[in-house]
Structure 1
Amino acid sequence: MNRPLSRERRSPAPEEPTGRAQPPDELVRADRRDERRRRIVIVGGRVAIAVLVVATWQLSSDRIFPSFYVSSPLAIAQRLVDLIRTGELWPHLGQTLIEVALGMSIGVPLGAVLGIALGSSVLLGGWLLPYMMALYSLPRVVLAPLFIIWFGVGLLSKVTMVVTMVVFVVFYNVYQGVKQIDRDLLDVTRSLRATRLQTLRWVMTPSLVPWLITGVRLSIGIALIGAVIAELIAASEGLGYYIKYSSNLLDVTGVFAGLAVITAVAIALDQLLKTLERRITPR
C-alpha cells in the first residue's frame, strides 16, 4: 500500500534585514558628535554676535555718535585694565559681591520656605498669598531710601534691599513647583502614613530642585540690581558707587566699565549655577 505523503510544516524563513543596525556604542558616539556640533554652532553664533556688536560700536564711536556720550569698547577695555592694574576695582567688586552673597543666603532659603509652606497648605495659601502678591507689586526701588533711613548707609541696608529683590523670585518658583508635584505621589505617602518631614525629604525636595535652581539663577541678576541700586543711593564702596561717582564726573567710560563688570559677574555666576544644575538635577 502506498503511504500518503505527509506535508511538513515549515516556519517561514525570516526576512533578511534591509539595513544593518548600528551598535549602541556607535549611536552614543553619533549623539555625542551631534551634541558637539550643536555646541560649536551655538558658541560660534554667540561669539559672532558679540564681535559684530563690539565692532559696530567701535566704528560708530566718534563717527556716527560722539564718544563723549557712548565711549568706545577700546576705551572701556583700557579703563578695566587700569582698574585691575591699580587695584581700584577689587574693593568695589568685593563690596558688591558681599552684599549679593549675604542677601541671597537669606533671601533664597526664606523664599523656598515660604513657597513650600504656602504651596502645601491650602489654609496658609489662602491667608497669605494675596499679601505676598501685594508686597511683590511694591517697587523696591522706592523702598531703597526707606531702607537707608531705617538701617543706615552701611551693609545692612544693602543686604535688606537684596533680600527683598530675591525672596519673591524664589518664592514664586518654589510655590509653582509645589503645585506641579504629582498628586499620586503625595497620595501614596499619605497611604503609607509618612510624616510631613519624610514627605518633604523623599518626595517634595527632589521634585523642587529644578524649580529652586531656576529661581536662584533668575535671582542672580536681580540681586546685583538690588545691590547696585542701594549703592547708587548711599554708599562709599561698591560697583554702584563707582558708577555713580563716574557719572558725577561725566565719565561715560567709567560708567560703562562698571556696567561691564556687573555683566561679567552675572554671566560667570549663571554659568556656575548651570554647571551645578547639570550635576545635581536628575535626568
Structure 2
Amino acid sequence: MSHDTITPVVTEAGRAKPPTMTRKRAGRRRPWGTYAVRVALVVVWLGSWELAARTVIDPFYYSMPSKVWQRLVDWFTEGTSQGSIWTNIAATLEEAVLGFVIGTLAGVVLGVVLGRSRFIADVLAPFIKGANAIPRIVLASLFVIWFGLGMSSKVATAFVLVFFAVFFNSFQGAREVDRVLVDNSRILGASRWQLMRSVILPSATSWILASMHVAFGFALIGAIVGEFTGADKGLGLLINHAQGNFDAAGIYAGMLITTVLALVAEWLITQLEVRLTSWRPPSHTASAGV
C-alpha cells in the first residue's frame, strides 16, 4: 500500500470522515501557527534591538523600541509640534487616497485602450517610457512650483507614482486576453462596448488588482515625498521635522504609522479583490487546502 494514500478518519460513531474535512480543519489550524511564528519574530527583533541599543549601539542614532513607543504615546496623547497627530494622518491619507483613485482610473482606462489598439500604443510608446523614466523627486519639486504647497502638489505626486504602476499592468492584461474568446464574442454580435465590458475587463481584472496592491503604497510614498518637499501638515512633515532635530524615534514613529496605513489599505484591497473575483471557480489547489 502506498504511503501517499489518504486514510479516512473513523469517528466514534464508526463512520468514516471524508479526507477533505481533515484537510479543511488542518487548513484552519495552520494560520494560528503562522501567526504565532510571526509574533515570535517581531518579539525577537524588538527585543534584540532594545538590548543592542542599551549595550552595543548608540541609541542617539538608532533609537530603541521603548523610545519609539514613547514618541507614539506623546503624539497620540499630547499632539505634535505641527498640531494633532490625527490631523496630520488625515492630511496624508487624503492626499494618498485621491492620488490612488485618480491614478488607478487613469491607468486602467489608458492601459486598456492602448492594450487593445496596437497603432496608438506604438505611437505613444516612446513618450510613455520617457515620462516613466523621469525621477519622481524632480516631479515633486516641479509640482510644488506649479500647484503650490497645498494638497494639489501632493496628489499630483501620488498620481504619477500610481498611474504608471497600474497602466503597465492594465496594458499587459488587455493584451493577454484570449483571442479565441474575443473572436467568438464578435461572431455572436457583441458590440465594442459589450466586448470591453464582458470579455476584456474581466480578463484583465487579475492584472489590474495585482497592480493595486502595490499602487497604494506608491500613493503613500508620493504623498510623503510631496510633504517633504513642502507642506504645512502631514506625516511627511513630521518625519522631516524629526530628521531636522536628529530625532530618530520620531522618524521611526512616522514610519510605523505609515506602515499601518499601508497594511490596512492592503487588507481593504484584498477584500475588494475577493468580491470582484468571486465569480471565478476555485482552483484545485485551493479546494485541496494547499
What is the TM-score with the length of structure 2 in the denominator?
A: 0.86
2:112 equivalent to 1:85: no
2:172 equivalent to 1:176: yes
Q: Which moved more, 1:208-217 or 1:100-109?
A: 208-217
Matches within 5 A, 1:1-283: 26-87=18-79, 88-281=84-277, 282=280, 283=282
Q: Distance in 1 between matches of 2:7 and 2:59?
A: 64
Q: Secondary structure at the match of 1:132?
A: helix
5+ residue gaps, structure 1, are 1-17
- One-letter amino acid of the structure 2 residue matched with residue 210 of structure 1: S
Is the 8 Å Cα contact of residues 118 and 129 (structure 1) preserved in structure 2?
A: no
Alignment CA distance shift 1:57-1:21 (3 Å): closer
CA apart distance, 1:230: 0.6
Q: Distance in 2 between matches of 1:31 and 1:131?
A: 52
Give per-residue Cα distances to partners, 1:6-31, cap 9 Å, x unaligned. xxxxxxxxxxxx99878997344223
- One-letter amino acid of the structure 2 residue matched with residue 61 of structure 1: A
Q: Distance in 2 between matches of 1:20 and 1:247?
A: 62
Give per-residue Cα distances to partners, 1:137-166, cap 9 Å, x unaligned. 111111111111111111111110010000
Q: Secondary structure at the match of 2:158?
A: helix
Q: Which moved more, 1:106-115 or 1:269-278?
A: 269-278
What is the TM-score with the length of structure 1 in the denominator?
A: 0.88
- One-letter amino acid of the structure 2 residue matched with residue 160 of structure 1: A
Q: Secondary structure at the match of 1:62?
A: helix
Q: Which moved more, 1:41-50 or 1:63-72?
A: 41-50
Give the number of the structure whose alpha-carbon radius of gyration is greater.
1
Q: Distance in 2 between matches of 1:189 and 1:244?
A: 55
Is the 8 Å Cα contact of residues 103 and 159 (structure 2) preserved in structure 1?
A: yes
Q: CA RMSD in A?
A: 2.0
Q: Distance in 1 between matches of 2:193 and 2:182?
A: 13
- One-letter amino acid of the structure 1 residue matched with residue 155 of structure 2: V
Percent of matched pairs sharing the same residue: 36
Q: Which moved more, 1:108-117 or 1:40-49?
A: 40-49
Is the 8 Å Cα contact of residues 92 and 237 (structure 1) preserved in structure 2?
A: yes
Is the 8 Å Cα contact of residues 119 and 125 (structure 1) preserved in structure 2?
A: yes
Alignment length, in residue pairs? 266
CA apart distance, 1:182: 1.1
